[in-house]
Copies of this chain bind each other. A is one copy, B any other.
Amino acid sequence: MDNFVFDNATKIYFGKDQIKKLPGLLTPFGKNVLLVYGGGSIKRTGLYETIQTLLSDFNIIECEGVEPNPHHTTVQRGADLCKQHHIDVILAVGGGSVIDAAKVMGAGAHYDGPIWDLVVDASKIQDVTPLVTVLTLSGTGSEMNRGSVITNTQLNIKKGTGGQNSLPFASIIDPTYMMTLPANQTAAGAIDAFSHAIENYFKADNDTFMQDAISESVMKAVIKYAPIALKEPTNYQARANLAWASTLALNGLTGVGKPGPWAVHAIEHELSAYYDLTHGLGLGILIPVWLGFILEDEMMPIFVRYGVNVWGIDSSKDDSTIAYESIDRTIEFFKSLNAPLTLREVNIDSTHFEVMAKSAVALGRLTQHLFPLDENDVMMILNQCL
């Protein structure tokens, strides 16, 4: 186990009706609230109305229309609103895109240059406007971490950023908000949570028992509860267990003490920088192909652990059988969620593969992974995804 710092102060209010805590959470910061949300689904579900009622004593400025894979221009608009209206606290209501955008808006509120600077160079994120979130779609884990992924559609770059102060002050996670999600969003969120666990699981093999056990638990939770949530969208226990597993998948617990970068996310970010692709679905296409690509002798101990502990494959089988079976089981599982398994299904062809591969290796530091990937490797993976 490598040395690490675990430092995560986000207060989580989990369960039904926790929204009632909202006024009390915002009050210490002030009256001027920037309400950040997406395409308006919160108006259809009634959550927007609930929040307006609860916050009738606050001055609410709205920043609507945060897109999936949020654009830096939208983040700039939010940062400008913060400055213009002397915003005291940001309230992000939505999924990972909305929360990611809100984090960088809050940093931009205290930065004089263009917002894209804060994505290119995370060290420029210093002071931030406090952030409270209300999660409506589990998966990204953004509600309890410092990270944001922002897209520059002019440059076709999708990149992660985040500062020491980027952690939400508090997040409300009410599983009932997820009961009205379309099936493909439930599936995408579930695969996203699964991907965070599997990226951390395969990125190093250095005696990190609890970290790996928690990753295995996240994957098993997704395997158990995602199919239930798809079949019975209003099943509270399924939504609750999916949500809490998603939060724990990326709040530090699965990654601390393990060195090295992730692999699949870097490649997926390239895909959704060029195409309007749902992040979780892109990951679901890439993961099985990537697993097949890295299935070499040096990775075998991790594959065997994955197969036996996550998929319950008989440990008396030989290692190679367990490894191949673990990949087959992963594919079958994503398929059972009705997730696409090829890039063709999401209308992506090989046009940009070369520049994507180059960028993924550079931005994702993929040559530093436990199983290093160069541009040719990424090209091969992308081509196999077609």
Query: Is B1 a contact of A11 with CB atoms below 8 Å?
Result: no
Q: What would 14 more interface pairs be, CB under 8 Å, given A1-B237, A210-B217?
A: A1-B244, A5-B14, A7-B11, A7-B12, A14-B256, A14-B257, A208-B241, A210-B218, A213-B217, A213-B220, A214-B214, A217-B217, A240-B257, A248-B253
Report the bound CA distance from A9 to B6 in whole Å: 9
Copy number in the complex reads 2
Report the bound CA distance from A17 to B4 in whole Å: 11
Query: Is B209 a contact of A217 with CB atoms below 8 Å?
Result: yes
A324 within 8 A of B: no
Contact of A213 among B13, B221, B225, B237 (CB under 8 A): B221
| Across-interface contacts of A13 in B (CB, < 8 A) | 5
Report the bound CA distance from A253 to B216 in whole Å: 16
Report the bound CA distance from A244 to B16 in whole Å: 31
| Across-interface contacts of A225 in B (CB, < 8 A) | 209
| Across-interface contacts of A112 in B (CB, < 8 A) | none
**Which residues 1-30 in A have Cβ within 8 Å of B in the complex?**
1-9, 11-18
Report the bound CA distance from A334 to B166 in whole Å: 44
Query: Is A207 a contact of B241 with CB atoms below 8 Å?
Result: yes
Can you list 24 residue pairs at the A/B interface with Cβ under 8 Å? Answer: A1-B240, A3-B17, A4-B12, A5-B11, A5-B12, A5-B14, A6-B11, A7-B11, A207-B237, A207-B241, A209-B217, A209-B221, A209-B224, A209-B241, A209-B244, A209-B245, A210-B217, A210-B218, A210-B221, A210-B248, A213-B214, A213-B217, A214-B214, A244-B257
Report the bound CA distance from A12 to B240 in whole Å: 28
State the A residues within 8 Å of B (CB): 1-9, 11-18, 207-210, 213-214, 216-218, 220-221, 224-225, 237, 240-241, 244-245, 248, 253, 256-257
Q: Which 8 A-B pairs have the closest CB atoms?
A: A3-B15, A213-B217, A9-B9, A6-B12, A207-B237, A7-B11, A209-B241, A1-B240
| Across-interface contacts of A214 in B (CB, < 8 A) | 213-214, 217
Q: Which residue of B is nearest A239, CB measured?
A: B1
| Across-interface contacts of A217 in B (CB, < 8 A) | 209-210, 213-214, 217
